[in-house]
Structure 1
Amino acid sequence: MPRAELDERYSSSAAEPLPWSEAVTRLADAEVYWLTTVRPDGRPHVTPLIAVWADGALHFCTGPDERKARNLRTNPAVVLTTGRNTLDEGVDLVVEGDADRVSDEVRLRGLAAAWEAKYGPDWHFDVQDGAFANPQAGRALVFAVAPRTAFGFDKGERFGQTRWRF
C-alpha cells in the first residue's frame, strides 16, 4: 500500500489525504485518460486514450507505428491523467511511471476481456503474436503503467492535494 501525504500548501484546513482505495476506484471507473510520452528530441507528446486498471497498473494500447509507441521505444517514462473538467468538484488523478510492454498471451486475453467489459463490444480484441488484434484497427501493443508516484487533486470546498509514494 502506498504512503499518502497531504500537501498542506495546496489543501484546505479541513482536507484529509485521499485514500488510495478511492483513487483506484476512480482510476478503474474513468473512461478517458490523457497519456504524456516524451519524443526522442525531448518534447512532450499528449494524447487522449482509453485504458483499464488491472493488477495494480493502468493499461493502454497503441498501434506499433503511432507516435506514442515510437516515443516509448526510446523513453518508457509516462504520465497518465484523468478526472473531471470542472473547477469545483471531482478529483483529478495523475499517475507517473514507466510503460512496460505486455506480451504474455494469457495476461493479454484477460486484459482484452477487461477492455470489452468496460467499453463494450466495439472494443473487442483478439490476442495474436503478443499483442491485441482487431480486424478493423489492426495490431495494438499493450503497455502497463504501475504507479511510481501518483497525485490526487480533490476539488471543491474541502480541496486537497494528496501524493502517494510507492
Structure 2
Amino acid sequence: MPGYGIDEGEDGLLEWDMVLGRLRDSHNYWLVTVRPDGRPHAMPVWGVWLDGAMWWSSSVRSRKIRNLRANPACTMTTEDGRSPVILDGAAEIVTDGAAIRAFLEATNLKYDAGLDIGFLEPSVNATVRVAPREIFALEEARFVQSPTKFTLDGRANPTTKPGG
C-alpha cells in the first residue's frame, strides 16, 4: 500500500493459519458481485471454507446468482471489520452431487442448520464455490505492520507479501 503509511517489510505480517482460521470461523460473510451494468451488489451470506475455497448457496433467482452467471468475479469478506479477511476470486456454480453433499454437511455442522439435500436442489438453489486468487488480511490494532496479501496459484502454501 505505497504512500499509505504501511510498512513494506515482512515484520508483523499475518500467518496463513491465523487468516485461514478467520475464514473458517466467521459466522457471516459479505459477498460483493457485479451487476450487468457494472454497479456493485453486496449481500451477507453464510459460508464454509471447504477444499481450499469458500462455499455458499442462494436461490437461483437471486440477484447475486444472476450477477455471477454473467460475471464470476466476486469478493467475499469476513464480518469482522477490525480483523478482516478479504478474498478475491472467481465463483463457479457446483452441480456435482457429492460436492454439494459435502457442502451441505459442512454447513449443517457449522451452523447447526438441519438442512436436507432437498434444500440444495439445483433447480431451486445454487451451490457456489469461490476459488480465491488473492486473500488480503489485516489487524486494526497493528494497522501499519499487519496488512498481508496472500496470492494463491493452486499450491498448498500461498505466496505472502506486505500490503495490498
- The normalised TM-score by structure 1 is 0.80
Q: Does 1:98 align with 2:90?
A: yes
Q: Is the 8 A contact 2:6 2:143 kept in 1?
A: no
Aligned CA distance change for structure 1 residues 14 and 83 (closer, same or farther; 3 Å): farther
Q: CA deviation at 1:126?
A: 0.7
SS at match of 1:117: helix
Would the alpha carbon gap of residues 23 and 164 (structure 1) be closer, same or farther in structure 2, given more than 3 Å must change?
Answer: same
1:68 aligns to 2:31 (yes or no): no
Specify the alignment match of 2:134 in structure 1: 149
The number of equivalent residue pairs is 149
**2:29 and 2:46 in contact (8 A); partners too:** yes
More strand by share: 1
Cα deviation for residue 157 of structure 1 reads 4.3
Q: Contact between 1:102 and 1:142, CA under 8 Å: does it hold in 2?
A: yes
Q: Indicate the structure whose relative CO is greater, using CA pairs within 8 Å and at least 6 residues apart.
A: 1
Deviating 4+ runs (over 2 angstroms): 7-15
Identity %: 32
What is the aligned counterpart of 1:126 among 114, 117, 121? 117
* Distance of aligned partners of 1:157 and 1:39 in 2 relative to their CA distance in 1, 3 Å threshold: closer
Alignment partner, residue 109 of structure 2: 117
Aligned to 1:55: 51
Measure how far apart 1:13 and its partner are: 8.3
